[in-house]
Amino acid sequence: MTVLDSRLEAVSRRADEIRIGRMLALVIGGLFFGLGWLVAKVVWGVWTGLRWTLAAVMLGWEQGWVSRGPARTD
């Protein structure tokens, strides 16, 4: 028996230990984890964009009010 044969047998024994159900559960769980991570990043990005937009509108409104003053009612 050569070194190559013993390593091939070791790989074969290890491959026989793999259970397809557990491996599929791991892959599906990983996909759900990745999808959840992606959704969280998108929601965080949208929320940050909305906050920045709201802050810009509020600052613009305040600057417009200060520079122009209240509307005249003549």
Query: Tell me: the pLDDT tens digits for 62-74?
Result: 888 777 766 666 6
Q: How does pLDDT run across 21-56, given as a tens digit for each residue?
A: 888 999 999 999 999 999 999 999 999 999 999 999
Q: Between 43 and 61, where is the model more confident?
A: 43
| 13 domain-assigned | yes
CB burial readout 12-36, b (16+ within 10 A) else e:
eeeeeeeeeeeeeeeeeeeeeeeee
Question: What per-residue confidence (pLDDT) applies to 54?
Answer: 97
| 38 domain-assigned | yes
Phi, psi torsion values for 2, nearest 5 degrees: -95, 175
pTM of the model: 0.58
Enclosing domain of residue 14: 3-66
| 61 domain-assigned | yes
